[in-house]
A and B are shown apart, each in its own frame.
Chain A
Amino acid sequence: MKKLLLTLSAVMLAIQLSAQTLGGGQVTGNFQIDAQFSRQDSAIGAEDVPQKMLSNVFANLLYTNGGFSAGIRFESYLDPILGFNSQYKGAGIANKFMSYQNDMFEITAGNFYDQYGSGLIFRSYEDRNLGLDNAMMGVNVKFRPVDGIIIKSMVGKQRYYWDYGKGLVRGIDGEFSLNSLIKNFEESKTRITLGAGFVSKYEEDQTILSSVEGYKLNLPLNVGAGAFRMDLAHGNWGLQAEYAIKSQDPNALNNYIYKNGNALFVSASYSQKGLGINLQAKRIDNMGFKSERTSTGEMLYINYIPAMSKQHTYALMALYPAITQVNGEMGIQADVTYSIKKGTWLGGKYGTTLKMNYSQIMSIDKQPLEGYTTIDQKGTDGYTSDFFKVGDELYYQDFNVEVSKKLSKKSKLALTYAYIAFNPIMENEHGDIHYNNVVVADYTYKMNSKNVLRGELQWLKSNIEYFDDDKRSGDWLMALVEWNFTSAFFLSVSDQYNYNGSKEHYYNVSVGYTHNTTRLQIGYGKQRRGLLCIGGVCREVPASNGLMVSLTSSF
């Protein structure tokens, strides 16, 4: 008995002590459950769902204890909701990692997400709501020998739904903050950060025939990409630039041409209180970089090239989004934010905010090689291109202005106008360029401290007559009314009406309840086929008609 008691207390003490030396650690996590019930609706192109109910679930569990952390993610797609690739079908532990870090080192084994610079040569990334995940499975090491230097190195394979891509991805990157490294420069008003990275992909040989019959392409097994970047800040001024090159990489995206790829991105900005200006330019030439050469579609990208235009959030303004052309594009963007002071004639009692944005994306110059009449011939260098020459084709153009103003203690109004030119070639479709004028009024009325009403009116006028293949063509009107009771509850009713076109109404009723970090949202209505964009990334979503229930929480 005594022995038992002693042993028991010894065990408990041991547990207690070990828990204390380990600091106990903490477990946090989050999850999301989406369930969809959709029925056939041929008018909008919604297909029959024989399973009746579709669901996506994910749950992250994260354990941290001092410098140690470990996590797993459970995912299930039984069956995947509309718009998610059917290869997601299934359930299991999709993601797991262990990581340890101290002041100098950080090592992660398992799945990890990272990027070099802005991602022109490497970015592993996820967006669960879009079904995009190119998590690396391997090892990632970060090393900070002194303040101001970060060296990163990694090796691994990329996630491909429930599997991994064939290609092996290796990389190294260094970033140097000159202010921390050079004496007497520490307190300087000028801040300079330099960085350089190199990424290489290895993939086994395979048989891909050239367009000249009977010849097998001599494929490079290793493809390398390197980038150099700088970030310069001086008081109100800022300048960022990144240049990347990629070695011969014949792949399905570029029709197996052997031309080297390159990309340049430059951004300059000036800002002071009440005024912010940003100018950007980029040129992309044959920079589709994937870990499997035969892969098309959205998975297995090693790098990330953002679209150089504003990400619109109003439904009708986001109808025709810009889509990055990895095989070649040139773009410019200007963005201005200006706050007119309170008490001035234009500013009124509460001040006014003006936002202006312009972007234009063109093709790059591409000329056939000597002895060829067309570009992109399989097995050749593809084309020649004059770096500074702008191509003939307009891909995308967007001019938009937003004026937002607090009208009184209770009400706010934001008016937005956009002119958007959209070339269907960005979606690999043919046809004339769509020229659209879009106007949005967004009005918020605070009834009292608990009840807030918000309304949106949107109008899109297009030059393209409605045609059935593209259900978004034609002219649109949209109205939305939203009632919020504190931040805990909302009810919204909306309708998108293709009044000059299919005459179809896309109505939707949604209610949502939020308690701290738990949010339940139920929506009923019709969803137009189109692109769903979150952050900088978009995904094709098919039409649906029915009920969508979504529950998210984090703890």
Chain B
Amino acid sequence: MKKLLVSVFALFLSIGMFAQETKSFPTLPENVSVKTLDGKTVQTSTFNNDGKPYILSFWATWCKPCLRELNTIKEVYEDWQEETGVKIIAVSIDDARGASRVKPLVNGSGWDYEVYIDQNQDLKRAMNVVNVPHTFIINGKGEVVWQHTSFVEGSEEELIELVRKVMNGEDISESK
């Protein structure tokens, strides 16, 4: 009888452990190498915003909607940072044709984002990005809580609204 109880208890325990699995988000790939605008190789594990959420946006110098997205956000970025402390990490997928134009374009356009070059598209593949622009919101734990492709003027307001929700600990995975 005792044994039976023990085994039933063990069964319940193991079932309980299965059931415990709460909703989990994929995490940002950790060991993918990208380059800074100064040519330094860094691992994606260094991506962070001191425990606050950040926006990860894939773009390219030849992608018009991407440039529109980053230029539109530029105008409100200071306000966003002041209010939420959010940071934008912009990853260029330009190959050798455009890669050397990335830094002059970033500075010439006056973007204050953290910019990396993913020339071999390793991070693009690891994050299942098919087309650019492709934008992610990563929470303070490094989890990908939301992603979206395409950009149109006005989407930036939806984006910051989602960041606010993430900061309040809300689940936004069902948001469009």
B91 CB to closest chain A CB (Å) equals 14
Chain A residue contacts of B149, Cβ below 8 A:
514, 517, 519, 552
Given contacts A179-B40, A514-B150, contact A13 B10 (CB under 8 A): yes
List residues of chain A with CB within 8 A of the CB of B103. Answer: 238, 269, 271, 276
Interface string of A138-156 (1 = CB under 8 A from B): 0000000000001000000
Q: What is the CB-to-nearest-CB distance from B31 to chain A, in angstroms, rounded to a whole number?
A: 5
Question: A267–B4 contact, CB under 8 A?
Answer: no
Residues of A in contact with B, size category: 35 or more
A339 & B125 in contact (Cβ 8 Å cutoff)? no
**In this assembly, does A247 line the interface, its C-beta being within 8 Å of a C-beta of chain B?**
no
User: Which residues of B (107-163) have their CB < 8 Å from a CB of A?
Assistant: 107-110, 119-122, 125-131, 134, 146-155, 157-158
- How far does the Cβ of A75 sit from chain B's closest Cβ, in whole Å? 14
A555 to B10, CA, bound (A): 35
Check if B154 sits within 8 Å of A233, measured CB to CB.
no
A64 to B119, CA, bound (A): 22
A164 part of interface (Cβ distance < 8 Å): no
- Residue from B10, B18, B31, B105 in contact with A101 in the complex, judged by beta carbons closer than 8 Å: B31
- CB-based contact B100/A193 at 8 Å: no
Closest residue of B by beta carbon distance from A311: B62
B107 CB to nearest chain A CB (Å): 4
Residues on B with C-beta less than 8 A from A8 are 11
- Report A149-170 CB contacts with B as 1/0, cut-off 8 Å: 0100000000000000000000
Which residues from B are CB-within-8-Å of A512? 150
Q: Does B64 contact A (CB under 8 A)?
A: yes
Q: Is the CB of B98 within 8 A of A536?
A: yes
Q: How far is the CA of A353 from the CA of B110 in the complex (A)?
A: 10
Complexed CA–CA distance, A210 and B13 (Å): 79
Residue of A nearest to B62 (CB): A311
| Interface: A249 (CB within 8 A) | no
CB contacts (< 8 Å) of A2 on chain B: these are 3-4, 7
Q: Given A26-B26, A353-B109, A486-B152, does the pair A517, B134 have CB atoms closer than 8 Å?
A: yes
Given contacts A26-B27, A270-B104, A273-B107, contact A449 B154 (CB under 8 A): yes
CB neighbours of B68 from chain A (8 A): 444
Chain B residues within an 8 Å CB radius of A236: 107
User: A115–B104 contact, CB under 8 A?
Assistant: no
Query: Which B21-62 residues have a C-beta within 8 angstroms of A?
Result: 24, 26-27, 29, 31, 33, 37-41, 60-62
C-alpha spacing A191/B42, complex, angstroms: 14
Question: Are A175 and B62 in contact (CB-based, < 8 A)?
Answer: no
On chain B, the residues within 8 Å of A64 by CB distance are: 29, 126
User: Among the listed B75, B128, B150, which residue makes an inter-chain contact with A487, where contact means beta carbons less than 8 Å apart?
Assistant: B150
- Which one of A240, A275, A517 has the highest number of Cβ atoms from chain B below 10 Å of its Cβ? A517
With A113-B120, A273-B107, A276-B106: A5-B7 Cβ-Cβ less than 8 Å: yes
Q: Hey, which chain A residues are within 8 Å of B150, CB to CB?
A: 487, 512, 514, 519
Query: How far is A552 from B104 in the complex, measured between Cα atoms in Å?
Result: 32
Give, as a whole number of angstroms, the nearest-CB distance from B169 to chain A.
20
- Do A269 and B100 form a contact, CB below 8 Å, given A106-B31, A191-B40? yes
CB <8 Å contact, B26 and A5: no
Contacts of B131 in A (CB 8 A): 519, 552
Query: What is the bound-complex CA distance between A5 and B4, given in angstroms?
Result: 8
> CA separation between A337 and B105, bound complex, in Å?
6
**Distance to closest chain A CB from B110 (angstroms):** 5
With A26-B27, A30-B128, A311-B61 already in contact, 18 other A-B pairs whose C-beta atoms are closer than 8 Å: A28-B26, A28-B127, A28-B128, A175-B41, A233-B38, A271-B104, A271-B107, A273-B107, A311-B98, A337-B108, A350-B75, A444-B153, A484-B154, A487-B154, A487-B155, A488-B176, A516-B176, A554-B134
Sorted from nearest, which 8 A-B pairs have the closest CB atoms?
A: A337-B108, A276-B108, A276-B104, A306-B97, A271-B107, A536-B97, A118-B96, A12-B14
Interface residues of B (CB under 8 A from A): 3-4, 7-8, 10-11, 13-15, 17-18, 24, 26-27, 29, 31, 33, 37-41, 60-64, 68, 71, 75, 93-101, 103-110, 119-122, 125-131, 134, 146-155, 157-158, 176
